[in-house]
Homo-oligomer: A and B are copies of this chain.
Amino acid sequence: MEKTKSNKALTVLKTDAKKIRQELFGQFDELCLMQCPIVEEIMDTQMLVFSREVDFAKRCDLISKETALMLINDLSLEIEAFYQEITKKQTQQKG
């Protein structure tokens, strides 16, 4: 049944998104994020690869265009919010 391959693809994508979240929100503590620019580069690469995986799944008709957009937007917004919080704390500390 075609549905199983699509369901499997969506599960794999959600797992990959979860790994990126865990890495950012868990592994990198705020101090490290504030001081080492390499973290942002790692996250950019992770997002690039994740978005291309999502795009690949969409091109293979495994997920819809809407699901693809949702997967990428949700994760980007969370990462963006996380960075804004870090920047706010940095400015408060310097204040």
Contacts and interface: CB of A to CB of B under 8 A. Distances in A.
Interface string A1-32: 11011101100100010000000000000000
Contacts of A49: 48-49, 52
Interface string A42-76: 00010011001100110111100000000000000
Contacts of A61: 5, 8
Nearest to A51: B49
A5 B5 CA distance: 7
Contact of A59 (B1, B12, B52, B59): B12
A60 B59 CA distance: 14
A9 B60 contact: yes
